[in-house]
Amino acid sequence: MARSTYKGRAFNAKAFMKVIEKQGIELGMQAIEAKARGAASSIVDPETGTHAEVFVDSQPGNRVALRTKGSPAFARLLEKRLGVGAGEVESIEVASGVVAPKVYLAHATEDKPMVRPVAEYLMANGVEVWFDEWDIEAGDSLRQEMEGGLGWMTHFVVILTPASINKPWVAREIDVGFTRLVGGKSRMVPLRVGVQVGELSEFLQTLLCPAFDPASADELKGLLDRLHGVSRKPALGAAPHYVQSTPDGLSGWSPAAIAVGRYIVESSINATVGELVVTLEGLTETLDIAPDDLRIALLDLHDAGFIRELNVRGHYLPEPPLFIDFDEAFMPFSPFADGRTLANRMIVGEDRALDTKLLAEELGWEPRRINSAICYLECAGAIHSRHALASAPWRSVQLVRTARTLRFARRHS
């Protein structure tokens, strides 16, 4: 039996093919991951207005799993951008990051009858309170127990009264509160009861020290809300319909990306390959948008496959998906509706290949309109296009119907 050799050495063709197959699968998986990450990075989460994190996990069987910290609405937009089924992208439930408040309640001994009801109110409403008469038992070390309470707190609440502002021990507690505030370990909530701001130390005067009435139900609730992190700012409502700028079908794009896409489709004469090149410099001069926002907009459109960068850095050409989505929003025709009409026309008769120019004349469409419909059918995989070097103003010179054309037409009939 003859042995295979390469440069005089034994060569195992079977093992070699396995290596090639493995490398091919790895390259394919890398391409899938790159496409998923690119699409995800181009979407602005409609619920947060930011770009959400996306994780692409390799799984057995040459599969990938997509997970995102974005909202469910972001996950659905990502599925649409990738062309996968609903539910294929998992939206990870992210913890809110809100930590249950723990309060160290500093005060003077003389003020205890006034402070105790405040501590009881907070405890009854979900705020754990370190209060000396509850947490220090007979025989305990005062210093150790108080240090433990100060190290455990998320909020240092000090009741500033004529009695407490002159107490050396309260001053020591305030020093610890300041140290933890500066170190970012806890919040500091000084409350004035019967004293003016001018009577406080210079350090305390640098902080917001509101007047506080321990007998007021409204002020107790205000303190409770502050400790729980409830914002006093009214809820943000929807903008009036006349200033809402995101057209139907373009949810997930930043305002800058929408402006760039609109400029391209409205500037394109025929939507043909290589007809229109945009640059950052040109867009900066034309659009009233900050250069950094334009850079991110171009990156979003690029990562989504809506534009591609030429060999000349910073020069971009529009791709078919851009005409599909942005023509739908800004042009006086619908690529989807026209694509359906064109597919229905192509399945009539015996000819498999039809002349683009003759089809446009029959339908009464300008090149810009039929080329947009061709973009839709090409991206949907419903037709084959035949191109020629001198095809302008047509995106392709002939359109070839396939079984997929028939299926598309029937599906959307």
CATH number for 306: 1.10.10.10
Read off the pLDDT band of 97 (50, 70, 90).
very low
Which pTM was predicted? Answer: 0.52
- Residue 283 and residue 294 in contact, taking contact as beta carbons nearer than 8 Å: yes
Which of 63, 91, 119 terminates a domain? The answer is 91
For residues 294 and 272, membership in a common domain is answered with yes
Read off the pLDDT band of 344 (50, 70, 90).
very high
More confident residue, 392 or 3: 392
Domain holding 373, by residue range, is 332-411
Q: What is the mean pLDDT of residues 209-222?
A: 91
CATH number at residue 221: 3.40.50.10140
Give pLDDT, residue 1.
47
For residues 156 and 172, membership in a common domain is answered with yes
Tokens of 45: 């989460």
Domain count along the chain: 4
Give pLDDT, residue 242.
46
Indicate whether 243 belongs to any domain: no
Tokens of 155: 């909020």
Indicate whether 238 belongs to any domain: no
Give pLDDT, residue 10.
64
* Beta-carbon contacts of residue 254 (< 8 Å; ≥ 6 apart): 44, 293, 296, 297, 300
DSSP H or E segment with residue 10: strand 9-10
CA distance 74 to 269: 33
* Beta-carbon contacts of residue 39 (< 8 Å; ≥ 6 apart): 78, 81, 82, 303, 304, 305
CA count, 13 A, side-chain hemisphere, 192 = 15
For residues 302 and 261, membership in a common domain is answered with yes
For residues 303 and 275, membership in a common domain is answered with yes
Sheet of 187-192, strand order: 128-130, 102-106, 155-160, 187-192
Indicate whether 274 belongs to any domain: yes
Indicate whether 353 belongs to any domain: yes
Q: First-to-last CA distance in the chain?
A: 63
- Residue 382 and residue 339 in contact, taking contact as beta carbons nearer than 8 Å: yes
CA distance 56 to 252: 20
**SS3 label, residue 336:** helix
- Residue 101 and residue 129 in contact, taking contact as beta carbons nearer than 8 Å: no
Read off the pLDDT band of 95 (50, 70, 90).
very low
- For helices 367-379 and 335-346, give the axis angle rounded to 10 degrees: 80
Query: Which pLDDT tens digit goes with each residue over 124-162?
Result: 988 888 888 888 777 777 677 777 777 778 889 999 999
* Chain centroid to CA 78: 10
Read off the pLDDT band of 180 (50, 70, 90).
confident
For residues 151 and 264, membership in a common domain is answered with no
Of the chain, the percentage scoring pLDDT greater than 90 comes to 36
Place of tokens 């945009």: 278
* Beta-carbon contacts of residue 154 (< 8 Å; ≥ 6 apart): 99, 100, 101, 102, 103, 186, 187
For residues 27 and 115, membership in a common domain is answered with no
Instruction: Say yes or no to pLDDT of 195 above 80.
Output: yes
Amino acid at 228: H
* Chain centroid to CA 353: 44
Sheet of 278-279, strand order: 278-279, 315-318, 307-309
Q: How confident is the prediction for the chain on average, in pLDDT? A: 82
For residues 269 and 167, membership in a common domain is answered with no
Give pLDDT, residue 201.
87
More confident residue, 191 or 51: 191
**SS3 label, residue 231:** coil
More confident residue, 70 or 250: 250
Query: Which pLDDT tens digit goes with each residue over 295-343?
Result: 999 999 988 889 999 988 889 999 998 999 999 999 999 999 999 999 9
- Residue 146 and residue 173 in contact, taking contact as beta carbons nearer than 8 Å: yes
Indicate whether 169 belongs to any domain: yes
